[in-house]
């Protein structure tokens, strides 16, 4: 008997380049994974149909769920909860909550996704505060998962401990590495360093069953001293945005070097194939979006500038989350 298709609801209106990139991603996924994934498009039906026609795709190729409003990147998440209940994010999460889809994916307003996912989906039993993590490239064959990267800027020690538990389960299931190591981001390696919350978190992690290796510093992230890096959302978001800017700096530096002389341009030209392969591992698009771990559902949050490729990877992350039944594993880990 064939396996049931995973139904993934996609916010078509959320990203900076919506709906073009979202529709392109949906078409590509439907062609590549027709036997595994079914995409439901969430948004303004007239706009979705118009874009499907532009892509020479039959207007009945996808199930479309009407959402008349849009939460913009400038909208306040709190206001969106109260005043934008017809938006694609709100309606998409409701659609998912009502078991009409197995997951919801959006490259829209991150704050709204965090707030609405928590309010509408609720939390997994045992979870005090949901979290988001982001994969960073590293010198290792495995990426490094940094969490939290923006969901909770002023956490309690218990929250950070839960982040480590959820991150370990997610890393093991998605990356496939058993017993991943956990490091606590700090201003030094010594146990006595850091704020009171960091010191308390250290004790919780040290006395846990996690593969905790102790404190690590910022320079250790790309060195993959630990598979998972735990920090509060304030620090994590700064680290994330700084890391994202590095790729642009590298590209700009190479371009400036090549423009200084014909010889430099020739050197760079010879290196282009190598540079493409090297820079590929640094591109956020390869990791797509990140899940909001700890909510009672599968909510995948993407970068506002997500390309079709990044959106495709977000959808595949959602598929992997559903197949791995990560929420059940999180619940068992935190309640036992």
Contacts of 318 (CB under 8 A, 6+ apart): 6, 8, 102, 103, 104, 105, 291, 298, 300
Q: What is the DSSP string of 246-271?
A: HHHHHHHHHHHHHTT-HHHHHHHHHH
Element (H, E) at 293: strand 290-293
What is the block-wise mean pLDDT of the chain (336 residues), using blocks of 10 residues?
81 93 97 96 96 92 96 89 94 97 96 94 96 90 92 95 97 94 96 95 97 97 96 94 83 88 86 72 68 96 90 95 95 92
Instruction: Give pLDDT, residue 2.
Output: 46
What are the sequence ranges of the domains in the chain?
A: 1-127+294-324, 131-286
Q: Is 131-286 in CATH node 3.40.718.10?
A: yes
Q: Are 321 and 103 in contact (CB under 8 A)?
A: yes
Q: What are 81's two structure tokens?
A: 């909860």
Please name which of 190, 191, 181 lies closest in space to residue 225, comparing C-alpha atoms. Answer: 181
Instruction: Give pLDDT, residue 96.
Output: 98
CA-CA distance, 325 to 333, in Å (whole number)? 13
Instruction: Give pLDDT, residue 271.
Output: 81
Q: Are 229 and 146 in contact (CB under 8 A)?
A: yes
- The residues facing 134 across adjacent strands are 146
Query: 157-175 vs 196-206: helix axis angle to the nearest 10?
Result: 50
Q: What is the DSSP string of 51-119?
A: HHHHTT--TTSSEEEE--B---TTS-HHHHHHH-TTBHHHHHHHHHHTTS-SEEEE-S-HHHHHHHIII
Please name which of 135, 194, 84 lies closest in space to residue 320, comparing C-alpha atoms. Answer: 135
Fold held by 1-127+294-324: Isopropylmalate Dehydrogenase (3.40.718)
Instruction: Give pLDDT, residue 91.
Output: 97
Q: Dihedral of the CA atoms 316, 144, 73, 90 (nearest 10)? A: 50
DSSP structural state of residue 284? G
- H/E/C letters for each residue in 197-217? HHHHHHHHHHCCCCEEEEEEC
CA-CA distance, 92 to 152, in Å (whole number)? 23
Radius of gyration of the chain (CA): 21
Same CATH topology for 1-127+294-324 and 131-286: the answer is yes
CA-CA distance, 133 to 67, in Å (whole number)? 28
Instruction: Give pLDDT, residue 71.
Output: 94
Element (H, E) at 29: helix 20-32
Q: Are 114 and 132 in contact (CB under 8 A)?
A: yes
ω into 19 cis (within 30 of 0): yes
CA-CA distance, 152 to 178, in Å (whole number)? 27
Burial track 67-98 (b if 16+ CB lie within 10 A, e otherwise) = bebbbeeebebeebbeebeebbbbbbbbbbbe
């Amino acid at each position: 008997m064939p396996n049931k298709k995973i139904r993934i609801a996609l916010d078509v209106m959320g990203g900076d380049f919506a709906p073009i990139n979202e529709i392109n991603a949906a078409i590509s996924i439907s062609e590549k994974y027709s036997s595994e994934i079914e995409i439901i498009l969430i948004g303004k039906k007239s706009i979705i149909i118009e874009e499907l026609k532009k892509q020479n795709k039959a207007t009945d190729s996808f199930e479309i769920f009407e959402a008349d409003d849009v939460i913009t990147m400038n909208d306040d998440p709190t206001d969106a909860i109260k005043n934008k209940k017809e938006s694609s994010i709100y309606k998409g999460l409701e659609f998912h909550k009502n078991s009409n889809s197995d997951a919801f994916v959006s490259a829209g307003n991150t704050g709204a996704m965090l707030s609405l996912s928590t309010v509408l989906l609720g939390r997994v039993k045992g979870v005090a505060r949901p979290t988001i993590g982001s994969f960073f490239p590293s010198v290792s064959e495995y990426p490094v998962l940094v969490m939290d990267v923006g969901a909770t800027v002023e956490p309690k020690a218990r929250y950070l401990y839960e982040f480590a538990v959820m991150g370990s389960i997610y890393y093991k299931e998605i990356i496939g590495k058993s017993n991943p190591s956990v490091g606590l981001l700090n201003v030094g390696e010594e146990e006595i360093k850091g704020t009171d919350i960091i010191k308390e978190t250290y004790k919780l992690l040290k006395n846990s069953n996690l593969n905790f290796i102790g404190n690590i510093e910022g320079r250790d992230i790309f060195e993959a001293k630990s598979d998972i890096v735990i920090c509060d959302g304030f620090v994590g978001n700064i680290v994330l945005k700084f890391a994202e800017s590095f790729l642009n700096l590298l590209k700009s530096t190479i371009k400036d070097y090549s423009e200084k002389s014909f010889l430099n341009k020739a050197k760079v030209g010879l290196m282009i194939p190598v540079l493409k392969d090297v820079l590929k591992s640094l591109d956020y698009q390869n990791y797509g979006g990140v899940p909001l771990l700890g909510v009672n559902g599968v909510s995948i949050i993407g970068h506002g500038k997500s390309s079709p490729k990044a959106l495709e990877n977000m959808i595949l992350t959602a598929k992997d989350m559903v197949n791995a039944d990560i929420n059940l594993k999180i619940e068992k880990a935190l309640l036992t």
